[in-house]
Every structure is written in structure tokens, then in C-alpha cells.
Structure 1
């Protein structure tokens, strides 16, 4: 069982469910997959980043395979998306909000776990970002798309900010539930501002995307 503070654990679980739901909905919109394909991609979105992180830091078997509720929530989110995908498009903003919660908490937890396993600041920040965006990247590659995190929206940048704040708090020995929630909140706000105002990361000068 996880040793995270109850509130952080609850947000982690909400994020897992939301990633499973959103990942499966993305797969449905982009492909003609059956239930196995949709559920598989939804679960990869929810769990993939954490699995990559745990393998890289030597925490095996990954937490996903030790705590059954992560697996169950990812599965539930994917199945709900499969069954109700035609209706859930009406709830795009609430789902985006939940997805932003997951992004924020995953980045914080990923970075703190990397530091716990003895990694330096740079690798810990990187693993925080991988935890947050790795699953979605795997999903996009499997459906033949350039990963969203590489081409549009403020997604990886907020995760990097949250991971950096987490590593800084750990380095200053002020990390705790409050610091973790503050780092996650900063990520959440940046992400939602990007959604609200259609903000994107800078693109190369003169690129086709920039001209549009």
C-alpha cells in the first residue's frame, strides 16, 4: 500500500482514473479500435509513465503492480470511456480539469520518488515529467500520432515546473504535504491557463505552425 499522505494519495488516484478516461477517449476519437484496444491504450495512458519511472529507478515490480487500486481505476476509466464515449464529449472541460489534476500530482510524485531513490536534481525533474506525460506519449505513438506533448499545448512545461519546485523543496528540506500541493497547484494553474487561452510552447521562427 502507498505511504503517501491521504490527500495526495486521493489526488493521485483521481489522476489515474482521469488519465485512463481521457486516454481511452483520445484513442476512440483517433482510431477504430475495439474494446481491447481502447482499454489497453487508456490504461497505458494512466499507468505508463509511472511504470517507466519505476523501471528506470529500479523500483520493481512497479507500484502499479503492487497496489491493485491503480490498475482498477485505470481500467474503470477506460471502460467508462468505451461505453459512454458518445456522451462524454459534452463533459470535455471537467475531464480536462481532472486530467490537469493527474498531470500535476504525477509530476510531483514522480520527482519526489526519484529523489527518494538517490537520483540528482536533473534526473529527478526529468523523471517527474516522464511520470506525468509518459503514458500519453506511448498512447499517441501507438495510434500513429506525433505525441501531443511535442506539438501543442502547455503540457510538459507545467509538469517540469512542478517537478522542479518539488526537487527544490526537497533540497531545502521543506518538502511535505503543503509543498507538494503547492507545486501541484502551480502546475495545475499553468495547464488550465494554457487551455483557457489556447497557449502553446514556443515554436521555431518561421515554422508553418507559427505562421498559422
Structure 2
């Protein structure tokens, strides 16, 4: 399997995983079928569309390639028809979101490199690809986006994108490189959920005094 095929598989797998997370979240909020499909597509393709616009990949793959829409619709169907089975996961939205986070952070960074952008932009757009759809989902469903909380979320995407970009610059272009970066990101995200890892909060005396007076 050549590199292009690997990243295509990664991208479509991430699309499906993110679509599942969006569809399940919409199902939990009791949206109708159109609402579930809309949220699933938004989560699956929102970050990738923003990335493609930024790197000049016009029209964005999420809008021009039927496979992305098909993946999101398939995920919506699974969320509706097999919801009891999907719900058996302890936290299905978080589980599938973690998988999509890892895959999109890596494939997003690599696509930016493919379009001859530098390492800094590749890492940043890898993060945008990974967290953009989730932010849209949370805003539409009236939830606080995960990247605005203390969770290890965007930082896990940063790790996956940075490892992929670093490997590319080091000449490590083996088929297993993107999978390694993806597994690393997913592992850190799931471990942070399981072990309760949080980012630190730095408070000064003025901030503490203001908080005590509230």
C-alpha cells in the first residue's frame, strides 16, 4: 500500500469515526433524522473543509468527494438503527471522537505538507482538522467545546500532528509512520479520560481574590 492510499484510508476512517461521534451525540439530544445526518456531516467534514480552504485545496474534499458524504450518512444510519449496540460503549461519543481526533490530526498535517506548506502550518492545520468538527458539534448542541476546558484534547492532536510532521522531515515515510502517530494521539486522549489527566490552571493572587469576591 503506497503512501497516498494509506492517507486516503486514514482520512475516510477518521471521517467515519467523527461522523459516528456526531451522530450519537445528536441522537442523545433527540434530534430528528435530518438533524442527526447534518451534525454527523458537520463533525466529519467541518475541520477538513476549513483545512482545505486554508491550504488552497479547492473545492474541499469534504464537498467534492462523494465518499465523505457517504461515510457520514452510513454513520448516521448506524447511530439510528444500531443505537443500543453503540451505546454499550461507556462513553461512545468520547471513544469515537478520540479515534477521529488521532486520525485527522495526522492526515490533516500530512495533507498540508503534500501541498508544500511548512512544518508550523502543517501542525496547526493538523490540529484544526482534528478539533474543528468537534467544536462545531458542541456549539450546535449547546455544549462547552472540549478545547475550552481543561481536558487533554487539542494538545493530544498537537502531539499526533507534530510526530507525523517530524517523521516526514526526518525521512521516515514508511507505511506504519502515520499509524504510529495516530495511535499515539488516540492513546494519550483515551488515557487522559481514563486517568483524569487535566491541563494545569495558573492563578495569580488577583485572580484568586476576584474569585473569592464573586
TM-score (norm 1): 0.84
Distance in 2, Cα, partners of 1:175 & 1:43: 31
Number of the residue aligned with 1:158: 156
Equivalent pair of 2:150/2:200 in contact (CA under 8 Å) = no
Equivalent pair of 2:167/2:177 in contact (CA under 8 Å) = yes
**SS of equivalent to 2:57:** coil
**Structure 2, unaligned runs of 5 or more:** 209-214
Distance in 2, Cα, partners of 1:179 & 1:76: 28
TM-score (norm 2): 0.84
CA shift for structure 1 position 13 = 2.5
CA shift for structure 1 position 93 = 5.3
Please identify the structure whose Cα radius of gyration is greater: 2
Number of the residue aligned with 1:23: 22
Alignment: residue pair count = 205
Could you give the per-residue CA deviations for residues 160-180 of structure 1, whole angstroms, max 9, x where no partner exists?
001111111222222342222
Equivalent pair of 2:21/2:92 in contact (CA under 8 Å) = no
Distance in 2, Cα, partners of 1:4 & 1:96: 28
Number of the residue aligned with 1:62: 60
Number of the residue aligned with 1:5: 5
Distance in 2, Cα, partners of 1:23 & 1:132: 13
- Give the counterpart of 1:182 among 173, 180, 187: 180
1:107-122 correspondence to structure 2 within 5 Å: 107-122=105-120
CA shift for structure 1 position 84 = 3.8
- Give the counterpart of 1:76 among 62, 74, 77: 74
Number of the residue aligned with 2:212: none
1:63-212 correspondence to structure 2 within 5 Å: 63-92=61-90, 96-205=94-203
